[in-house]
């Protein structure tokens, strides 16, 4: 999952689990919109709601590199 990969790449203690989940949800919705599985407006609505709650929604908010996430995701579960 995106969140597990984000946590693994960030390292222990760099962010809270809920923060990784918020970014992961945002990435999953945006990826779904890219694949035309859901409307782009839905993805942006999710990101806006999470941001309103004070949660991060972008990898650069926590200093994680996107290129490394696929490696982590390939070994998740």
Q: Which tens digits make up the pLDDT trace of 18-63?
A: 999 999 999 999 999 999 999 999 999 999 999 999 999 988 877 7
Closest CA to 69 of 77, 59, 55: 59
The separation between the first and the last C-alpha atoms of the chain, rounded to the nearest angstrom, is 9
User: Residue 15: pLDDT above 70?
Assistant: yes
Do 56 and 46 touch, CB atoms closer than 8 A?
Answer: no
pLDDT, residue 52, reads: 97
Predicted pLDDT at 77: 62
Predicted TM-score (pTM) of the model is 0.84
Does the pLDDT value for residue 14 go beyond 90? no
């Amino acid at each position: 999952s995106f969140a597990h990969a984000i946590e693994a790449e960030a390292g222990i203690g760099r962010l809270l689990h809920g923060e990784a989940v918020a970014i992961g949800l945002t990435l999953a919705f945006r990826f779904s919109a890219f694949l035309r599985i859901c409307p782009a407006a839905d993805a942006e609505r999710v990101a806006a709601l999470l941001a309103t709650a004070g949660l991060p929604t972008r990898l650069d908010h926590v200093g994680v590199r996107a290129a490394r996430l696929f490696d982590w995701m390939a070994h998740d579960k």
